[in-house]
Amino acid sequence: MRDTIKISAAVAVAAALTAGLSACSAPSDTDSGGKKGGADAKLVVAASPTPHAVILDYVKDKLAKDAGLNLEVKEFNDYNLPNTSTENGDVDANFFQHKPFLDEFNKKNNTHIVPVVNVEIEPLGLYSKTAKKLSDLKAGAKIAVPNDATNEGRALKLLADHKLIDLKAGVGANAKLSDITDKKGLSFTELEAPQIPTRLKDVDAAVINGNFAIGAHLKPSEDALALEQAKGNPYANFLAVKKGDEHDPRVEKLAKLLNSDDVKKFIESKYTDGSVLPAFGPVKS
């Protein structure tokens, strides 16, 4: 009899816990059928603070409600966590990267992130606290470049385009420091891209990604010694998801909003110095 009472009590507790867990499930986490990711569920998007989170916050504050989108923006000061968080389901999508970076990341980490739609581009620039023009960077000058494969290649191409170094023929965006055929007396240090603005004072010049330049209160069109051309640039930043989630109705709503006239006008009015440019449309393979 005592054992029966104990078992009955345990069943009652388990039932109460189950009911409690069900009651705690927020309506935004499930659709009417109880499936996570329904049309009314919250869409959590990982983003770099500037300009990605700024653009997403505009969408959240001004456009999402009318479109029936429950959007949450999570900021990351890191180039790895947004993709790993999307892969493991901690977030639903991300907005911070370009295609060459994603291709390299997926290959290296065996992840399955895919682009959805292009949104904007931030021209890469060469900055200095001491040099006023490119010719001030003479033999012995120390240059910082991003240490991730795609952005380093992009940085070296920028330097080569402005005759600061010579590269092996045909290396293009995949260039590495070992592909420099003539350093012209320059020396190079590799740093994580988010760290470079804070280390600018420690080097003679540094190649800085546009979003981190903006975050460091640098004005690319005014402060850069050399600036990447935006026209025909393959480095547009896009909304991305884990493969299989491209047609999630929430993702499709956000993609449409990010390519809207309202967002185009916002980008152009917010970044009047041309540091961020609309780059709407499908992502080329």
Domain assignment of residue 20, yes or no: no
Q: What CATH number should be reported for the domain holding residue 213?
A: 3.40.190.10
Q: Is residue 190 part of a domain?
A: yes
The candidate with the shortest Cα–Cα distance to 163, out of 197, 145, 186, 190, is: 186
Residue 254 lies in a domain: yes
Is 213 among the domain residues?
yes
Question: Where a domain ends, among 183, 202, 227?
Answer: 227
Beta strand pairing call for 205-208 and 277-281: unpaired
Name residues of the chain where pLDDT drops below 50: 1-35
138 and 180 housed in the same domain: yes
Do 130 and 222 fall within a single domain?
Answer: yes
In a domain, 12, yes or no: no
Are the C-beta atoms of 73 and 102 separated by less than 8 Å?
no
* Domain membership flag for residue 9: no
Amino acid 37: pLDDT: 60
Asked if the structure places residue 143 within a domain, the reply is yes
pLDDT at 261: 98
Which of 147, 149, 205, 190 lies closest to 173, judged by CA?
149
The reply to whether 216 and 137 lie within a common domain is yes
Would you state the pLDDT for residue 81?
A: 97
Domain end call among 227, 244, 267? 227
- Last residue in a domain, options 199, 227, 255: 227
Same domain for 200 and 249: no
> Do residues 221 and 245 both lie within one domain?
no
pLDDT tens digit sequence for 216-263: 999 998 999 999 877 767 889 999 999 999 999 999 999 999 999 999
Number of domains the chain is built from: 2
Please check whether residues 103 and 35 belong to one and the same domain. Answer: yes
How much is the pLDDT for 59?
Answer: 98
Q: How far apart are CA 2 and CA 235, in angstroms?
A: 71
Q: Please report whether residue 82 resides in a domain.
A: yes
Q: What is the pLDDT of residue 232?
A: 67
Verify that 132 and 216 share a domain, yes or no.
Answer: yes
Task: Check residue 174 and give its pLDDT.
Answer: 82
Task: State whether 221 and 131 are in the same domain.
Answer: yes
Q: What is the model's pLDDT at position 22?
A: 37
Co-location of 78 and 118 in the same domain: yes
Angle formed at CA 266 by CA 67 and CA 196, multiple of 5 degrees = 115
Q: Note the pTM of the prediction, 2 decimals.
A: 0.72
Residue 250 confidence (pLDDT):
98
pLDDT of residue 21: 37
In this structure, the answer to whether residues 115 and 241 fall within a common structural domain is yes
Report the alpha-carbon distance of residue 40 to residue 66 in Å, rounded.
13
Same domain, 71 and 199: no
Specify the pLDDT at position 2: 37
For residues 49 and 78, state if they share a domain. yes
Q: 109: domain range? A: 27-122+234-281
